[in-house]
Chains A and B, each alone.
Chain A
Amino acid sequence: MDGLAHQVIAGIATGGIYASVALALVMIYQATHHVNFAQGEMATLSTFIAWSMVQAGMPYWVAFFGTVVVSFVIGVLVERILLRPVQNAPVLTHVGVFIGLLLIVGNLTGWVFGYTTKVFPTPFSSEKPIMGGLVSAHELGSTAVTLVVLTLVFLFFRYTSLGLAMRAAAYNPRSARLVGVRVGWMLALGWGLAAAIGAVAGMMVAPVVFLDPTMMLGILLYAFAGALLGGIDNPSGAVIGGFAVGVLENLAGAYVVGTELKLTVALAIIIGVLVVRPSGLFGRVVTSRV
């Protein structure tokens, strides 16, 4: 019984990471109707930036918040420089840009920081076992950080005027312009936020999976599965989907398919959702009259 409980708790901890990345994906998808394939690679780069800051002797939390800010700026710049020129281009152009971004950011990270696996520190440690050793300090801490981030994002979009303007720009850019919202900048801010959320996810998962330039590859797949499961156009759905995928993946890995085949679970979920319920569990079914 303890084994099962442990697997569920570990699943929730990694699920939080998937939920964060899924939220980052959905934020950009809602505004542009494109999935940013490079979201994971950008998060990896951010994590390496944090790693260098820690290596340079900065305290962990200074490096943490410094990385969040730097990642936000990188996200904004990527949108302004790379995406803005192609904003009205066909879907395949965007796919091309995203794949290019994925390759460039991934290889740049490897080139600058090397391909050897690195140990990334965790700020959470505990002398005594927590809940009888059922959960590690890092699992508890990273889940807490994830929940704080998700709550802040939710409050930002729900209650601030800027968050409302960003939602308006995503739902209906034409009408948003008519109330004076600068839609182009809202997109750039969305990219910045997504990059910042990804950075937190990267820093929280790196102590578990260890840091190397391909760290986020699998995680992006799980996150995508989570986003699809919850509904790619529904941020809260994507978050719930992310947590669900984390738990499912862990249980399936422990009791059904074994760790080797865990990633297959993500693919099975993706295909399953697309076949059975393409709009996801909480997604909007869009019907239109012709």
Chain B
Amino acid sequence: MLLEVKGLRAGYGQTHVLHGLDFVVEDGGVTALLGANGAGKTTTLRAICAMIRTEGEITLNGERIDGRATEDIVRRGLAHVPDGRGTFMELSVEENFRLGAYTRRDREVQADFERMFGMFPRLKQRWKQQAGTLSGGEQQMLAIARALLLRPKLLLLDEPSFGLAPLIVQEIFGIMRRIRDEGGVGILLVEQNANLALELADRAYLLETGRIVVSGPAAEIRQDESIRRSYLGY
């Protein structure tokens, strides 16, 4: 099992947001975390990479990571594209790439840059440009590229479709499909657009006010009209 979460509780100050979550993410493949606004999806991702205080067990590749510092968790193979994307707006696309590979000491970094250009040709055209001047879609691509350059085993994505035009969303999801099919990296995807997410995902968890209310294969959840009506609203 790539990621195992047991009894995860977290919140902000006195406010508890997550009330004991149990879920797993398998090697390779996509796991979707769905739910309405305020259900605790973003908080779950923040809790996994120790951006907030947590209680409960989190295991990455058999190793406990709860209680460790964010940078140490990242160095163990977890990449996070947070809400707001985590891009260094003041720096160039090139520098964002270099930072993505900051922890790596192997010789394949340049080859991975090329691989990213293959996936995101537009970023190559913007190479020397300041990241803050990119369009929303390009910034999302940069954020995903930056995260992949870490060569993670697990990739957390927080609403990659947020604020983007439908055509760009299609493009981003196409890229995620490609990442899934190439294998080697498990994805935990938080998404408002449940329909798109369920199309891409293998498994899904449905979150409601800090508790998991439904879990199962994505295809089944997609078929289940009552779940769709009561939780996903489409």
Contacts and interface: CB of A to CB of B under 8 A. Distances in A.
A176 B82 CA distance: 12
A88 interface: no
A171 B95 CA distance: 13
Contacts of A167: 91
A175 B88 contact: yes
Given A168-B99, A178-B80, A180-B74, 11 more contacts: A171-B88, A171-B91, A175-B88, A177-B69, A178-B74, A179-B74, A180-B71, A180-B103, A181-B71, A181-B102, A183-B71
A33 interface: no
A177 B89 CA distance: 15
A225 B79 CA distance: 42
Given A171-B91, A179-B150, A180-B103, A161 B98 contact: yes
A165 B104 CA distance: 13
B206 to A, nearest CB: 26
Contacts of B51: 174, 177
**Residue from the set B49, B99, B103 with the largest chain A CB neighbour count within 10 Å:** B99
B interface secondary structure, majority: loop
B90 interface: yes
Interface of A: 161, 164-165, 167-168, 171-172, 174-183
Given A178-B82, A179-B102, A179-B103, A168 B88 contact: yes
Contacts of A176: 99
Which of the four size classes fits the interface of chain B? 20 to 34
A182 B103 CA distance: 10
Contact of A172 (B88, B102, B146): B88
B222 to A, nearest CB: 31
Given A165-B99, A168-B99, A182 B91 contact: no
Contacts of B82: 174-175, 178
- Across chains A and B, which 3 residue pairs bring their CB atoms closest together, nearest first? A180-B103, A175-B86, A177-B70
Nearest to B156: A178
B91 A179 contact: no
Contacts of A177: 51, 69-71, 74
A interface secondary structure, majority: helix
Interface of B: 49, 51, 69-71, 74-75, 79-80, 82, 86-91, 95, 98-100, 102-103, 146, 150
A41 B202 CA distance: 62
A42 B89 CA distance: 34
A179 B95 CA distance: 12
A179 B146 contact: yes
Contact of A178 (B79, B95, B98): B79
A171 B92 CA distance: 13
Contacts of A172: 86, 88-89
A204 to B, nearest CB: 31
A171 B131 CA distance: 13
A177 B95 CA distance: 15
A177 B52 CA distance: 13
B95 A180 contact: no
A165 B102 contact: yes
A96 to B, nearest CB: 26
B99 A179 contact: yes
23 contacts: A161-B102, A164-B95, A164-B99, A164-B102, A168-B91, A168-B102, A171-B88, A172-B86, A172-B89, A174-B82, A175-B86, A175-B87, A175-B88, A177-B51, A177-B70, A178-B49, A178-B74, A178-B79, A178-B80, A179-B99, A180-B75, A182-B71, A183-B71
Given A164-B95, A174-B51, A180 B90 contact: no
A181 B71 CA distance: 6
A179 B90 contact: no
Contacts of B49: 178
A181 to B, nearest CB: 6
Contacts of B91: 164, 167-168, 171
Contacts of B99: 164-165, 168, 176, 179, 181
A181 B88 CA distance: 13
Contacts of B70: 177-178
Contact of A164 (B69, B75, B87, B98): B98
A164 B88 CA distance: 11
Contacts of A165: 99, 102
B108 to A, nearest CB: 16
A174 B86 contact: yes
